[in-house]
């Protein structure tokens, strides 16, 4: 899909929104660097945490793992320059990893400095749009058709550059990425989308547990049917699970629906 076809698809999906570029909704889109470990006197600091795409929760928030070990002391000037800010979005340069993470206040409060490394791209937002807009952009970048478009742009640039840089996401692709316009709503969008994602995750978890219960019930029924001619009865608990499971089968766990619901909520 080329850029014009992608914009046309966005206009069809979001007819009430002007289509802009991602750089218009952000302050900057840049690569991050790994902090320098230094031995300069009075510049040693071990109070920092380096985020990893291995440690992202269901809301796509970075978190500190329980087995986190203290890192080697780094150059404090370097840490200060490269410290991440509230609601920075981070993507891997190696786009095939398919991850995206959000920097939260909880993460920043846990250490004096929080930094990325040289395998990441950072999206920074203007000070007056740090509540809803980062979450909006995060959910947009998770949409399947958006991910497919980004991959197609990477392939186009790969054909023009050194093969060693294959599958690498470039800041220019993100800067020029078409996206529906968005109006900051003082945290309303953020609360709405996170509430929906939490409920979807909760329902998904319940569904898995009920499927396990029914699988075990099926095994017991099968054995009973082989060994006797007794009439088989479901327990009230199993019947309740069947009824709930039937309702949950209608659950459409598509983030795009949450996204579309929330984008239409304009103040």
φ, ψ of residue 38 in degrees (nearest 5): -130, 165
pTM over 0.75: no
User: Which of 113, 148, 181 finishes a domain?
Assistant: 181
Among 137, 151, 179, residue whose Cα is nearest residue 7 = 179
Same domain, 93 and 172: yes
User: In the predicted model, what is the mean pLDDT of the chain?
Assistant: 79
Of residues 260 and 115, more confidently modeled: 115
Total domain count, the chain: 2
pLDDT digits (tens, 9 = 90+) for 145-186: 999 999 999 988 877 776 666 778 999 999 999 999 888 776
pLDDT digits (tens, 9 = 90+) for 195-235: 777 776 777 777 777 777 667 666 555 555 555 444 445 55
pLDDT exceeds cutoff 80 at 90? yes
CB 153 within 8 A of CB 147: no
Same domain, 128 and 214: no
Confidence at 194, pLDDT banded by 50, 70, 90: confident
| d(C-alpha 193, C-alpha 68), whole Å | 30
Secondary structure of the chain: what % helix, strand, coil (to 5)? Answer: 50, 15, 40
Same domain, 177 and 199: no
pLDDT on residue 97: 67
User: DSSP secondary structure string, 20-68?
Assistant: EEGGGG-SEEEE--PPPP---TT-EE--EEE--TTSB-TTSBB---TT-
Burial class (CB in 10 A: 0-12, 13-18, 19+), 242: middle
Same domain, 255 and 148: no
User: Which of 140, 160, 181 finishes a domain?
Assistant: 181
pLDDT on residue 266: 41
Instruction: Quote the tokens at residue 42.
Output: 């009075």
Same domain, 132 and 210: no
Instruction: Quote the tokens at residue 174.
Output: 């993100």
Same domain, 199 and 174: no
User: Which of 129, 146, 181 finishes a domain?
Assistant: 181
Query: Domain of 150: which CATH number?
Result: 3.90.220.20
Domain with 27 in it: 3-181
Same domain, 82 and 10: yes
Same domain, 160 and 206: no
Same domain, 176 and 194: no
φ, ψ of residue 260 in degrees (nearest 5): -70, -40
CB 55 within 8 A of CB 63: yes
Same domain, 136 and 156: yes
Instruction: Quote the tokens at residue 177.
Output: 């990425």
pLDDT on residue 255: 45
As a whole number, mean pLDDT of residues 229-257 equals: 53
Same domain, 59 and 88: yes
Same domain, 17 and 124: yes
């Amino acid at each position: 899909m080329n850029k014009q076809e992608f914009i046309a698809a966005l206009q069809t999906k979001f007819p009430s929104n002007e289509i802009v570029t991602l750089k218009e909704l952000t302050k900057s889109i840049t690569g991050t660097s790994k902090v320098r470990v230094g031995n300069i006197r009075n510049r040693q600091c071990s109070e920092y945490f380096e985020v990893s795409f291995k440690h992202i929760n269901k809301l796509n928030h970075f978190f500190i793992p329980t087995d986190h070990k203290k890192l080697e002391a780094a150059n404090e000037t370097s840490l200060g320059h490269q410290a991440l800010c509230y609601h920075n979005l981070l993507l891997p340069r190696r786009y095939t990893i398919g991850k995206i993470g959000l920097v939260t206040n909880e993460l920043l409060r846990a250490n004096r400095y929080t930094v990325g490394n040289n395998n990441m791209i950072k999206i920074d937002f203007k000070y007056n749009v740090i509540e809803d807009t980062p979450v909006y952009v995060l959910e947009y970048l998770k949409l399947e058709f958006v991910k497919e478009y980004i991959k197609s742009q990477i392939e186009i640039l790969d054909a023009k550059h050194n093969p060693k840089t294959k599958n690498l996401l470039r800041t220019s692709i993100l800067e020029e990425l078409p996206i529906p316009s968005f109006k900051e709503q003082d945290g309303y969008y953020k609360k709405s989308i996170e509430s929906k994602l939490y409920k979807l995750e909760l329902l998904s978890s319940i569904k898995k547990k009920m499927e396990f219960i029914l699988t075990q019930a099926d095994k017991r029924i099968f054995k009973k049917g082989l060994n006797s001619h007794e009439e088989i009865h479901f327990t009230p608990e199993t019947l309740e699970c069947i009824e709930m499971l039937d309702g949950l089968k209608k659950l459409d766990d598509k983030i795009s629906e949450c996204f579309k619901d929330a984008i239409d909520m304009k103040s």
